[in-house]
Amino acid sequence: MASPEASEAHQAANLAKILPPEENTYTVTEQRIPMPDGIQLAADLYQPDLPANNNPRGLIYVLGPYGRKGVMALLNAKCFATRGYMVLFVSCRGTAGSGGTFVAAMTEQADSQAVVKWMREQPWYPGRFTTFGASYLGYVQWALLRDPPKDLIASVNLCSVYDHSLLAWTNGVYRPDRISWSYVVASQDEAGGGVVSSIPGLLKLKSVVDSMPLFDATERLFDGKAPYALEVMKTPNLNDPFWARAKHEAALDLVNVPLLLRSGWYDTLTVQTLAAYARARDRGVKVYLTVGPWTHVQACGSDAYPEVFDFLDEYVRGRKKDHRPLSVKVFVTGAEEWRSMPSWPPATEERTFYLYGDKTIDPQPPSADSPPASFTYDPQNPTPTVGGPLMVRGGRVDDSIYASRSDVLVYTSAPLEEEVEVMGKPIVQLAHSTDIPYADLWIRLSEVDADGVSHNLTENFQALDEVEQGGESSLSLVDRAHVFKKETCIRLVIAGGSFPLMARNPGTGVNRTQAKELKAVTHTVQHGSGLSKLILPCTS
Instruction: Give the chain's count of helices (H) and strands (E).
Output: 14, 25
Domains along the chain with CATH numbers? 4-172+236-341 (3.40.50.1820), 349-538 (2.60.120.260)
Whole-model pTM: value is 0.95
Residue 188 has pLDDT above 90, yes or no: no
Q: Establish whether the linkage from the previous residue to 345 is cis, with ω within 30° of 0.
A: yes
The confidence score (pLDDT) of residue 320 equals 80
Alpha-carbon distance 329 to 321, whole Å? Answer: 18
pLDDT digits (tens, 9 = 90+) for 242-291: 999 999 999 999 999 999 999 999 999 999 999 999 999 999 999 999 99
Buried b (16+ CB within 10 A) or exposed e, 432-450: bbbeeebbbbbbbbbbbee
Distance (Å) of CA 516 to CA 110, 179, 509: 39, 19, 11
pLDDT band at 96 (very low <50, low <70, confident <90, very high): very high
Summarize pLDDT for 471-504 with one digit per residue, the tens: 788 999 999 999 999 999 999 999 999 999 999 9
Q: Of all helices (H) and strands (E), which one includes residue 16?
A: helix 4-18
Instruction: State the Cα–Cα distance between residues 282 and 515, nearest whole angstrom.
Output: 43
The per-residue pLDDT of the chain, averaged, comes to 94
Task: Read off the DSSP letter of residue 395.
Answer: B
Residue 197 confidence (pLDDT): 46
Quick one: average pLDDT of 327-335? 98
Rounded average pLDDT over 389-395 = 89
With cut-offs at 50, 70 and 90, classify the pLDDT of residue 198: very low
Mean pLDDT of 370-378: 98
Average pLDDT over residues 354-364: 98
pLDDT at 467: 54
Rounded Cα distance, 188 and 183, in Å: 8
Q: Nearest CA to 176 among 204, 201, 210, 199?
A: 210
- The pLDDT of residue 422 is above 70: yes
Provide CB contacts within 8 A for 336, sequence distance 6+: none
**What number of other Cβ atoms are within 10 A of residue 394's Cβ?**
23
Instruction: Quickly state the pLDDT bin for 469 (edges 50, 70, 90).
Output: low
Predicted local confidence at residue 3, as pLDDT: 46
Pick the residue with more confidence: 460 or 470?
A: 460
Q: How large a percentage of the chain has pLDDT more than 70? A: 95
Question: Which residue did the predictor score with more confidence, 125 or 200?
Answer: 125
Question: Is the distance from CB of 81 to CB of 59 less than 8 angstroms?
Answer: no
